[in-house]
Chains A and B, each alone.
Chain A
């Protein structure tokens, strides 16, 4: 007989696959252009849901709020550029969605625990055979897991993200 006191997982709200598929579209768009600004209004439009519904259901689906997900993608991309290119760190900051070297450096350190130049130096010392793996998977494997919002708060306080050049709605 099953014991009623045995472990039962917490009930999980089941999400409509049709909605999830549309939320994935918003996530895909942030993935493709993480340097752009992605206010909830824009993301909600991509997913064809209301703004109020969007932020909540995105977090339910993917575990982090959309703005924090975007931050993980920006840091991931910055790490890739630091590792794979000779671009100056200022250029990398500008290309990944920041408009100040200071904000970029501080956020990067908060999230990864090391400075952009520190990461670059460390990666240079250890060359990897990464050209056999699709670049996006290499990149994704180094995406930071942002379980707290501390660094995001600091980023917002600094208020120094770049305005989008324009709202490009690709495809």
Chain B
């Protein structure tokens, strides 16, 4: 696919910590890790979704002014960033595997409307909902 959304960015408190989480625990792959001085453009991708990169960005100067960067760090740490959804084939199995690797779940798998979902957070506070879609496609 050559058209569509290419990169969606997330704010994280520490890029090394985020890399360890998204790659080491969730099983994403690094797409780009480019440094320039204090600035680091870091994106990862889901192994089955090479068309989309997930940017792991630090709220920092000079891209943001110091006050704004601090505000963003607080907002992220309070879990107030918009929801993220990860689609999986088997929510309960993935839950067991990720929990064993130390992922911080905030809701164990529950079934509703024929779907099974669970919630977890990344180390920064970004909230993910992991959904196994029980509906037939289309």
Chain A residues within 8 Å of B, Cβ to Cβ:
14-15, 17-18, 20-21, 23-25, 27-28, 31-32, 61-62, 131, 134-137, 170-171
Contact = CB atoms under 8 A, between A and B. Distances in A.
A134 B85 contact: yes
Nearest to B114: A131
Q: Which 3 residue pairs of A and B lie closest in terms of their CB atoms, listed nearest first?
A: A20-B77, A17-B77, A21-B77
B87 to A, nearest CB: 12
B36 to A, nearest CB: 24
Given A14-B70, A134-B85, A135-B113, A24 B107 contact: no
Nearest to A134: B129
Given A28-B106, A171-B104, A136 B78 contact: no
A24 B78 contact: yes
B74 interface: yes
Q: In which size bucket is the chain B interface? A: 20 to 34
Contacts of B60: none
Given A21-B125, A24-B125, A134-B129, A171 B99 contact: yes
Nearest to B105: A171
A10 B19 CA distance: 37
Contacts of A62: 78
Contacts of A170: 108
Dominant SS at the A interface?
A: helix
A27 B121 CA distance: 13
Contacts of A136: 107, 119, 129
B107 A32 contact: yes
Contacts of B42: none
Contacts of A18: 77
A169 B13 CA distance: 27
A20 B81 CA distance: 14
A171 B105 CA distance: 8
23 contacts: A14-B70, A17-B13, A17-B73, A17-B77, A20-B77, A20-B78, A20-B125, A21-B77, A21-B124, A24-B77, A24-B125, A25-B104, A28-B79, A28-B106, A28-B121, A32-B106, A61-B78, A131-B113, A134-B117, A134-B131, A137-B83, A170-B108, A171-B99
A21 B105 CA distance: 14
B136 to A, nearest CB: 13
Contacts of B77: 17-18, 20-21, 24
A135 B112 contact: yes
B18 interface: no
B76 interface: yes
